[in-house]
């Protein structure tokens, strides 16, 4: 092709694109924006994302008007059964067969890591809202995914630092014996020691465990002021319940739940959890904007949203805006567009997407209310402090991500 022909061709294409800008189907693969929602719909993590997260995603699609630049938005969903196998296969199928443009949800870190490998290999795009592992945007980072809500770094940085500052300087760690637990334990140990505290003991329990009495007894025997729970979901709930039965807090020790979700507190009740300090990415009752959205969600689902469910709405909205702005659903272009636009909505304050795929935003230190202070079923947290976006997450200077030049 000669130079003139090339120029001609490209200017025609440009003109065509301008003409079609209002109905940009040509720029959207298959004339549709396809979003796949992958999460644990039936297992341990069902209640923190699960069907409620899908509902949040559908809300975002509806609020956006159901289409982007004239291209309809189509939502797929699947249960990953907390299995890396199932998750990776589903996403592979979505990309190969259904041309899904973006994958949302994703909870268990094993599933997330497997899925991001598939996304990287097939040039897809994923936005992770559920998972805790900070490794997702550290050693496992790819240019094809974004981590939206929280990770183990701010959990440690928020909760552990606040507790050491309040004088809780000797810790006993109760750690779930797998990668996430180890990572959280590592992050907490670092924060505690940097702030002048000390880890006096710890125990790693199998995942999952239903009987924590033995470990609680060991924690009581350790003499530590703080018992840190580096576990999640049912394990945390069991550990807190058992601690309450054994009078751990009455005897002067304090629990630090490092990863506690709204649904966990709701399930355990305030009697058991009152006074628990925790770090959260969002709380439904933290301001008017959040409340307004949360109440709409409540009407549809019958439960108040967790930070993960809110994050799914927020990230989907941001994605759709980026698609609209870029005029295409091509993953690479949309990813770049998303990073260019700051994230400020009911969920995220001062949010932006870093080059390692981490969405940094303000995090919050919260305390679980006492039964007397709570006015209704879902009135569970008191927000004590805001952890600014820039401090909350692992700084890029410490990053091992291949996308970050250090």
Partner 1 sequence: MSTTQTLTPTMKRQRRANLRRNAFYLILIVVGMVAPFLAYPVFLMKVLCFALFACAFNLLLGYAGLLSFGHAAFLATGGYITGYLLASYPAMTPEMGIIAGTLAAVVLGAAFGALSIRRQGIYFAMVTLALAQLVYFAYVQSPFTGGEDGLHGVPRGELFGIISLRSNLAMYYFVFAVFLIGFAIIQRAVHSPYGQVLKAIRENEPRAVSLGYNVDAYKLVAFILSAGIAGLAGSTKTVVFQLASLTDAHWHMSGEVILMTLLGGVGTLFGPIMGAGIVVSLQHMLGQSPLGNWVSVILGVIFVVCVLSFRSGIVGEINKMYHKNFK
Partner 2 sequence: MTMIFGVPLAVFMGQLLLGLINGAFYALLSLGLAVIFGLLKIVNFAHGAMYMLGAFAALLGMRYLGINYWAALLLAPLLVGGFGMLIERFMLRRIGHLDHLYGLLLTFGLALIFEGTLVNFFGVSGARYPTPEVLQGGFQLGFMFLPAYRAWVLAAALVVCLFTWFMIERTRLGAYLRAGTENPALMQAFGVNVPLLVTLTYGFGVALAAFAGVLAAPLYPVSPTMGSSLLIVVFAVVVIGGMGSILGAVLTGLGMGLIEGLTKVYYPEAANTVIFLVMILVLLLRPAGLFGKEA
Question: Is 45 a binder of partner 1 (CB under 8 A)?
Answer: no
**Alpha-carbon distance 233 to 237, whole Å?**
6
Question: Is 132 a binder of partner 1 (CB under 8 A)?
Answer: no
**Considering only CA atoms, which of 147, 113, 398, 159 is closest in space to residue 277?**
159
Find the binder of partner 2 among 237, 239, 308, 401 (CB under 8 A): 237
In the complex, minimum distance from the CB of residue 258 to partner 1, in angstroms, rounded to a whole number: 17
Find the binder of partner 2 among 121, 193, 211, 332 (CB under 8 A): 211
Q: CB nearer to partner 2: give 11 or 213.
A: 213
**Alpha-carbon distance 202 to 15, whole Å?**
66
Residues in the chain: 406
Find the binder of partner 2 among 88, 119, 268, 322 (CB under 8 A): 268
Helices and strands per DSSP (H, E), number in the chain:
15, 15
**Alpha-carbon distance 403 to 357, whole Å?**
9
Contact 130, 53 (CB under 8 A): yes
DSSP SS3 for 127: strand
**Alpha-carbon distance 61 to 130, whole Å?**
19
- Choices 58-66, 176-184, 188-196, 321-329; region in contact with partner 1 by CB under 8 A: 176-184
Find the binder of partner 2 among 34, 46, 161, 358 (CB under 8 A): 46
Total residues in contact with partner 2, by rule CB under 8 A: 38
Q: CB nearer to partner 1: give 25 or 51.
A: 51
**Alpha-carbon distance 406 to 398, whole Å?**
8
By CB under 8 A, what part of segment 145-204 binds partner 2? 177, 203-204
In the complex, minimum distance from the CB of residue 402 to partner 2, in angstroms, rounded to a whole number: 32
Question: Is 54 a binder of partner 2 (CB under 8 A)?
Answer: no
The residue whose two tokens read 């470990």 is 215
Footprint on this chain of partner 1 (rule: CB under 8 A) = 41-42, 76-79, 81, 83-86, 88-90, 92-93, 96-97, 109-110, 113-114, 117-118, 133, 177-180, 206-207
């Amino acid at each position: 092709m000669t130079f003139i022909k090339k120029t001609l061709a490209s200017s025609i294409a440009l003109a065509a694109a301008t003409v079609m800008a209002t109905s940009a189907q040509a720029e959207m693969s298959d004339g549709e924006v396809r979003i796949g929602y992958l999460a644990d719909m039936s297992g341990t993590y069902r209640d923190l994302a699960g069907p409620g997260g899908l509902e949040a995603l559908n809300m975002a699609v509806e609020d956006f008007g159901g289409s982007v630049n004239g291209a309809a938005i189509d939502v797929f969903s699947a249960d990953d059964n907390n299995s890396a196998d199932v998750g990776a296969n589903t996403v592979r199928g979505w990309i190969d067969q259904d041309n899904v443009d973006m994958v949302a949800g994703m909870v268990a870190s094993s599933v997330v890591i497997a899925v991001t490998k598939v996304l990287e290999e097939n040039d897809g795009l994923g936005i992770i809202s559920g998972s805790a592992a900070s490794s997702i945007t550290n050693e496992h980072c790819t240019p094809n995914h974004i981590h939206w809500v929280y990770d183990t770094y701010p959990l440690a940085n928020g909760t552990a630092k606040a507790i050491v500052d309040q004088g809780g300087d000797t810790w006993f760690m109760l750690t779930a014996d797998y990668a996430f637990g180890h990572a959280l334990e590592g992050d907490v140990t670092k924060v505690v020691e940097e702030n002048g505290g000390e880890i006096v003991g710890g125990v790693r329990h199998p995942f999952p465990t239903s009987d924590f009495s033995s470990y609680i007894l060991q924690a009581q025997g350790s003499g530590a002021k703080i018992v840190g729970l580096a576990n999640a979901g049912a394990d945390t709930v069991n550990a807190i319940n058992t601690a309450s039965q054994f009078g751990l807090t009455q005897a002067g020790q304090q629990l630090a739940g490092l990863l506690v979700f709204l649904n966990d507190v709701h399930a355990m009740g305030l009697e058991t959890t009152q006074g628990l300090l925790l770090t959260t990415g969002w709380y439904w009752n933290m301001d008017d904007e959040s409340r307004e959205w949360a109440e709409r969600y409540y009407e549809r689902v019958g439960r108040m949203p967790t930070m993960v469910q809110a994050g799914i709405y927020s990230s989907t909205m941001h994605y759709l805006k980026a698609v609209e702005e870029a005029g295409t659903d091509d993953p690479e272009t949309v990813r770049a567009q998303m990073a260019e636009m700051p994230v400020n909505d009911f969920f995220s304050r001062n949010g932006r997407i870093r080059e390692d795929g981490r969405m940094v935003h303000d995090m919050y230190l919260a305390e679980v209310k006492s039964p007397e202070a709570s006015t209704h079923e879902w009135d569970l947290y008191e927000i004590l402090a805001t952890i600014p976006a820039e401090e909350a997450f692992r700084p890029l200077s410490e990053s091992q991500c291949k996308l970050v030049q250090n």
